[in-house]
Structure 1
Amino acid sequence: MAAGNFALQDLLKDLNKVFSGSTKCNWLKCILHDILKGDELSPEEKSAMQLFRPLCDDGIGLISTTDVEILLEIAKLTDQHSAKTRIGEYKKNTQGYNGNSVERITPFRRALYRALRHVSTTELADIAAYYYQDSKDFRDVWHFVFYLETHDNDNLLLDSTRVKTERFAKLLNGIAKSNLQVYIDSLPPVQTTTGPPSGSESVASRPASEGQSTKVSWTSVGTVLSSEDYQQLVVKVSYWWKRYGKINKLKVIIGQFKSKLDQSELETNKDPYKLFELLRVPGIIGPSNVDVLIEAVVIGEMGSLDEKLATIRKWLPKFPGFREISIPKYWDHRRKLIEFGRDLGTEEKTLIGRLLELDEEPEDTWMLILQLEKKRTFSDKEKLAKFIKLLKDNEMDHLAAKFE
């Protein structure tokens, strides 16, 4: 947002008054959870202005001098009449206004917000107990849901997938549950013949085991995005990775193409946008082929793919049509590495590092995998077999099974 645009500043100041107080701050955090970063969503109370400001940054770009539609969406969703009136005045008085009515807030966030509005503090004890938590550790149901949606980073207890949403909905009172049920009914049913065991995510939201075909609906080769739409897609998807704090996990995934990438940049860069730029230079991704960009989201288990694709369609209304495809076989090894890293505990990470005499303690499981790849631990069958034996000899059979 250009400095000195006081008309927009005045609008945000007025909305800051409308959404003042801890309760309305909770509303905003819930609604904007998919957009804001973890530190911006911390349990500490923030003002509406503090939550709106990041939406003006170029990296997100959902609020600009000529587009305040997301603010209007929030005002309508929360039924704040004074906010709707004030935003309407701003739009009417803004020359060159070009915001469109495409929804920025996902159906899941809308449904979750509406549901939580009807959950009382007295109900929290039983809901928390179901997840083995003490309600005394949480200020209110909004704070507790924030915990569910950020738990363990890679093992969320609540997200937009059918199984986890249904699990949470069954704990709610009738009115709250009905609000979530509208969203659940819009999702495709969980596949029972080839899908994962009960209690896990749907097949579209996590990688399949070896030999299993993962069917996902999305766009692919044969159409060309405009340079502007392609750029917006890369910027927005990059923000997902940054927001979830999974930069090293992304490095493991795109390590599939390490022979074509600048190794120094791959190892040291912590900006997902620049990592995707590494893929663009050799032509792995581009306006005519966004396959890898989307496949990385699937393999990285970035929540519900259906939800992510719906969001992309809102960013880019002209995004090409979807079709059924399978994740290519060349991702099989990467999927095994992701499953290995996902189940690797902190103590096991340290133990493996010491057994293999790594030069430094890896900061997380994904950095451990990157270091193992650098040591060529998985480079051929013989070396992989040696690593599997090392795991079994040290009572890590469950991890060894990921590679067998």
Structure 2
Amino acid sequence: MSTMNIIKIKDEYNTSTADSKISVSFRDLKADLSRCFDGDKYLWIRFLLFDVLSIGDLTTPLSIGNDLLNALEDKGLITSTDVNILLEISKTSGATQAKVLLAKYMRDNNVQETRTSKTKLSPYRKRLFKALKQVDPDALRNVTSFYGLRKYNFSNIWDAVLKLEIEEELAANSDKIKKFASRLGKRARSTLLDKGNSKKENENETESLSQECEPSEDLSMDDFRLLIADFVRWFDAGGFQSLNILKVLFIEMLGDIEELKRANGTTELLALLMGPGLLSKKNLSVLYDTIKVTEQYTFESSITKKLHPFKNIREHEVVSFSQHTISIFDLGKSLSDQDIKDLDGRYNFPIRRMYIDAWSLILHFEDRGLLSEHNIAYIKNFLNKKKKINKVD
């Protein structure tokens, strides 16, 4: 397919989207956003709002993100025409689907991002959030032991940190940060204590949040078209399996599995990303991240030589895909032919689906809501037990 046809698909998609546009209410937006922060992600949004809401709002027995969003609205921190703090939260947390929902809401309701010199989330909070997402498995035990918190039986690092912040054992104070960082793993500790990173965050406070993913290079539209064409050619060469792998990676970003089902090639998938602005000549993150996650390190185009991230793709930090998406992808990679048969029999009894590969199974399970964090752990445990039984037999 020619590069002109690729861009034409994007233009047609944008036109059809605009024609069928349905304005989403602010109430619906909050409800949809709350679903983006369910489960463990609720702990993320609560942590990020520590400097914004009162301790009472944060410690009331809440269980879903919608309660916190209502608290923000009650205090006038968000309105139907001001969703800036929600943009900050979605971008800081890497909640791609939340960013898509906000972008659509703002576009449909003509809501503009207010550019101010001061953001709601401090550089310290953003850096601490990033560090907590990188902690080693032993970090919770080390933190609770060091600070005498074992009696609370915390099940996650976020609750433990909330307690420390309430007790003022942890704050934007160099001594307290250093003491806390010493209880974390090497990677998280480095992130938290990286003064260069902190300085950079402060410098970026005055910049628009929408510029986060823009490459430093000035990429022309012709270069963008060539890069897309090369990317399409590379992944289409992998056949149907490669297409399903991309669908697994993009499903959370797009949120509409029916659109994914209808996509018959890489070109159509990329057009779906271009529609809401998830992929553009100024935002190539999803291409970098796809190559990094799928380990297609030999991918090359004349354009990749001009773009810094492609030169160091192995060290590139993935930002487009959530940890949940990565977990689902890792599960798909780990499935053997026997695993696929075992899961088919376990979840589709008495009628088997006879999946052609692991990725078609993953897509079907995701469509049925069978791949929550808890269920992924159950699936892995189930497969391990089956393997032990098969060895005995």
* TM-score tier after normalising by the smaller chain length: 0.3 to 0.5
Q: TM-score, normalised by structure 1?
A: 0.40
- The structure with the largest helix share of the pair is 2
Higher relative contact order at CA 8 Å, sep ≥6: structure 1 or structure 2? 2
